[in-house]
């Protein structure tokens, strides 16, 4: 089954890595469906029913976004608030529509990896900063998986640095398919 990749970048045309990742994913329509929130909802008005129906069609969801003020871009937060509602995503009569779906994050960050630690400038690891996402997905009974992150763009924005990220990202996504094949044996 295909993977739904929900891309949330407020200016994808000016993006470096996220735009490149989308270009690569578009080469594989047999494996990935790309859903760009800012292109779909330029006015920020989310069609909740359409989003819920879309989510229900896929067993694997990737939320791809740049790290914004140590979180996600605002439209993704709004998407969580409006789409993952009581009665659909959680609650005794909801059916927990994300239950068992594999969910992960694919994050780009300008900061170098070593700066995400207790003894460095930003004081927290990326794992610690993404705990609200992990808790959200646990709450709606999704199968949250470790995230993928590519960092260091702030100091190393070369084309070769960007291109190094592409096979790593695709390998990360493909690892889900490999895992499914192994489990079905």
How far, in Å, CA of 18 to CA of 157, rounded?
13
Containing domain of residue 134, as a range?
3-184
End-to-end CA distance of the chain: 16
**Any idea what the CATH number is for the domain that residue 147 is in?**
3.40.50.360
Q: Give the closest residue to 3 by CA, choosing from 68, 77, 55, 67.
A: 55
Quick: pLDDT tens for 28-42: 999 999 999 999 999
- pLDDT score for 183: 54
For 64, the 3-state DSSP assignment is strand
**Number of structural domains found in the chain:** 1
The C-alpha torsion from 148 through 166 and 164 to 114, rounded to 10°, is -20
Q: What is the CA radius of gyration of the chain?
A: 16
- C-beta of residue 134 within 8 angstroms of C-beta of residue 141: no
Q: What pTM, to 2 d.p., does this model score?
A: 0.93
Residue identified by tokens 């705990």 is: 131
pLDDT band at 123 (very low <50, low <70, confident <90, very high): confident
């Amino acid at each position: 089954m295909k993977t739904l990749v929900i891309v949330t970048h407020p200016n994808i045309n000016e993006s470096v890595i996220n735009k490149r990742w989308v270009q690569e994913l578009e080469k594989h329509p047999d494996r990935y469906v790309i859903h760009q929130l800012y292109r779909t909802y330029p006015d920020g008005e989310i069609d909740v029913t359409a989003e819920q129906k879309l989510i229900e069609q896929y067993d694997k969801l990737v939320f791809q976004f740049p790290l914004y003020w140590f979180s996600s871009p605002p439209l993704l937060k709004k998407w969580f608030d409006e789409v993952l509602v009581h009665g659909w995503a959680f609650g005794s009569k909801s059916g927990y529509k994300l239950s068992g779906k594999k969910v992960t994050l694919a994050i780009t960050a300008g900061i170098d990896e070593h700066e995400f630690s207790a003894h460095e400038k930003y004081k927290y690891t990326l794992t610690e900063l993404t705990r609200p996402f992990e808790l959200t997905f646990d709450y709606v009974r999704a199968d949250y998986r470790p995230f993928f992150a590519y960092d260091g763009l702030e100091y190393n924005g070369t084309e070769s640095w960007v291109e190094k990220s592409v096979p790593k990202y695709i390998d990360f996504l493909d690892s889900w398919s490999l895992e499914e094949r192994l489990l079905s044996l």
